[in-house]
Chains A and B, each alone.
Chain A
Amino acid sequence: MRAVLNGWLRRIPVWALWLGGLVPLALLVWDTLNGGLGIDPIRDIEHRLGRTALYFLIASLAVTPVLRVAGVSFMRFRRALGLLCFTYAGLHVLSWVVMDMALLWGAMARDVVKRPYLIFGMGAFLMLLALAVTSNNLSIRRMGVLSWRKLHKLAYLAAPLVTLHWIWALKTFPLEPVLWLAAILVLLALRIAVPRPIRWGIAASPK
């Protein structure tokens, strides 16, 4: 079963994931052009981009735990998942800069250093930026695999920051980002608790 699944996964080209990953963006553009966004389209654009970035971030974080626990490998797609996350995070920040804050650079600078939710968000974005620019084989070679891996553990710091950014921006205590934060912590816990792949073949075989 696992082997069949892995076989299928091997046959899916990475560009197909990119194509699927850009569907939420296409839908957002479609809704924007067709007035499908409601009364405050800027808020909807900003929020949808931000949420999609978080979903891809969590998907990329799930790759290793899924491999270790279930033996199913999405490893070929991890870089694309991470870069899709960064694409949406970048558009999220861009929509804030251009549409929400209308290029008021002074006001933005004052806010980013003063407001906790913007500090969390901007901090996470800078981490994701560092991960995105090193998401190529040349960087892995230059940095060495060990230090590259160390750097990319930042994803586990950026993810909770993103959910705090979401929680802190709202007026009351919201449920949804708290659930995503819990999911991130579970993924991190799995990573620590299951340091090696579970060896299914041996566990399942008779004595």
Chain B
Amino acid sequence: MKLRWSDVTPKADYLNRRAFIAAGAVAMAAPAWALTGKPSAYSTVQKPNTLEEITNYNNFYEFGMDKTDPARHAGAMTTDPWSVEIGGMVDRPGSYGVDDLAPANALEERIYRLRCVEAWSMVIPWIGVPLSGVLEKAGVQPGAKFVSFETLYRPEEMRGQSRPILDWPYKEGLRLDEAMHPLTILATGLYDDVLPNQNGAPIRLVVPWKYGFKSIKSIVRITLTDRQPVSTWQAMQPSEYGFYANVNPQVDHPRWSQATERRIGAGLFGGREETAMFNGYADQVASLYAGMDLARDY
């Protein structure tokens, strides 16, 4: 069955229901499509962008190259049933459902800054689970050094894939220590609801200190490997998009400066703000790159 927005329980209703449960009158399961996550110390206190902004300004080239294309066309993607193949150098390879990977009782709310390589930014309240827990569940073998990810390939539902804009299916990758970092999550929700399709339903990666394109959407495959994977943008234009893609105001994209960014929703005369090293997460992640030349390993 395809879940529609009209099937989603109105927030007021499920809030009532929750109050009802809290009163201890009936033990009732919360509806599957309403998500709540425990607040997290990793969240920023910055004000999140509105749901309208987050869901109507997307890069998801599988549905078209314009920022409004995903909201218009991603509804055609079937997200239920869904399974994620976890394989490669793991002890328990197999096909996992979204609920296996991100069970309701493990969900956290992570309000993260998002910095796009195109020099705009947003603040997004994700609901999800740390990727490290998921990988531990699958049992990472000692030789594994990298994690690679793959997006759904289904041209009949993803109209952008009928054109060779990118080398489909979309692929991304992380070093194992980046993947195991507590900031790295798999998100299944947004603003207390399931992820809208244009934001990468039903399950996507979020790596807040890297440019947005590293946070691959609609994941169907996670593979542990001992070799550095090649990501889609890196394969397409290696001089412009590196494997690491850490947000770095000192290393420009060849065609534009990364020193500043424009916050979506700031208004016509909102100005620009300075981009922070590692998108403001330097305290947590800078040590991962100690001794590396980030101008070379960009």
Chain A residues with CB under 8 Å of chain B are 32, 38-42, 45, 98-102, 104, 107, 110-111, 114-117, 168-174
Chain A contact residues: helix, strand, loop or mixed: helix
A28 to B53, CA, bound (A): 20
Given A45-B268, A107-B260, A116-B255, 17 additional A-B pairs, CB 8 A: A38-B57, A39-B53, A39-B57, A39-B67, A39-B264, A40-B67, A41-B268, A98-B269, A99-B268, A102-B269, A102-B271, A107-B257, A168-B255, A169-B255, A170-B65, A171-B118, A173-B165
The reply to whether B68 and A174 contact each other, CB–CB distance below 8 Å, is: no
Tell me whether A172 and B53 are in contact (CB under 8 A).
no
- Complex alpha-carbon distance, A101 and B264, angstroms: 14
A-B CB proximity, top 9 nearest: A39-B57, A102-B271, A102-B272, A39-B53, A172-B165, A39-B56, A115-B255, A99-B268, A111-B257
Tally chain B residues at the interface, Cβ within 8 Å.
28
Determine whether the beta carbon of A172 is less than 8 Å from that of B166.
yes
29 A-B residue pairs with CB within 8 Å: A32-B268, A38-B56, A38-B57, A38-B67, A38-B68, A39-B52, A39-B53, A39-B56, A40-B120, A41-B268, A42-B268, A45-B268, A100-B262, A102-B270, A102-B272, A104-B260, A104-B272, A110-B257, A111-B256, A111-B257, A114-B252, A115-B255, A115-B257, A116-B255, A170-B65, A172-B65, A172-B166, A172-B236, A173-B165
Q: Judge whether B276 is part of the interface by a CB distance below 8 angstroms.
A: no
- On chain A, the residues within 8 Å of B259 by CB distance are 107
Chain B neighbourhood of A39, CB < 8 A: 52-53, 56-57, 67, 264-265
8 A Cβ contacts from B224-276 to A? 236, 252, 255-257, 259-260, 262, 264-265, 268-272
Question: Chain A residues with Cβ under 8 A from B61's Cβ?
Answer: 172
Task: Give the Cβ gap from A117 to chain B, nearest Cβ, in Å.
Answer: 6
Tell me the bound Cα distance from A104 to B268 in angstroms. 15
Distance A116 CA – B240 CA, assembled complex (angstroms): 14
Chain B residue numbers with a CB within 8 Å of A173 are: 165
The answer to whether B272 touches A101, judged by C-beta atoms less than 8 angstroms apart, is: yes
Q: Nearest Cβ distance between residue B165 and chain A, in whole angstroms?
A: 5
B196: shortest Cβ distance to chain A, in Å? 14
Give B120's nearest chain A residue, CB to CB.
Answer: A40
State A13–B271 Cα separation when bound (angstroms): 42
Chain B minimum-CB-distance residue to A98: B269
- Which B residues are in CB contact (< 8 Å) with A98? 269
Q: Shortest distance in angstroms between A21's beta carbon and chain B's nearest beta carbon?
A: 24
CB-CB contacts of B49-70 with A at 8 A, as 1s and 0s? 0001100110001000101100
Partner of B255, one of A41, A101, A117: A117
Using Cβ atoms and an 8 Å threshold, which residues of chain A touch B265? 39
A171 to B67, CA, bound (A): 13
A165 CB → nearest B CB, Å: 11
Complex CA distance for A172 and B59, rounded to whole angstroms: 12
Min Cβ gap A115→B in Å is: 5
Write out the residue numbers on chain A whose beta carbons fall within 8 Å of the beta carbon of B118.
171
A179 to chain B, nearest CB (A): 15
Residue in B56, B57, B269 whose CB lies within 8 Å of A99: B269
Cα of A178 to Cα of B272 in the assembled complex, Å: 31
Residues of A contacting B272 with CB < 8 Å? 101-102, 104
Q: Which residues of A contact B68 (CB under 8 A)?
A: 38
- Complex CA distance for A32 and B57, rounded to whole angstroms: 17
A102 to B264, CA, bound (A): 14
Residue among B255, B269, B272 with most chain A CB within 10 A: B255
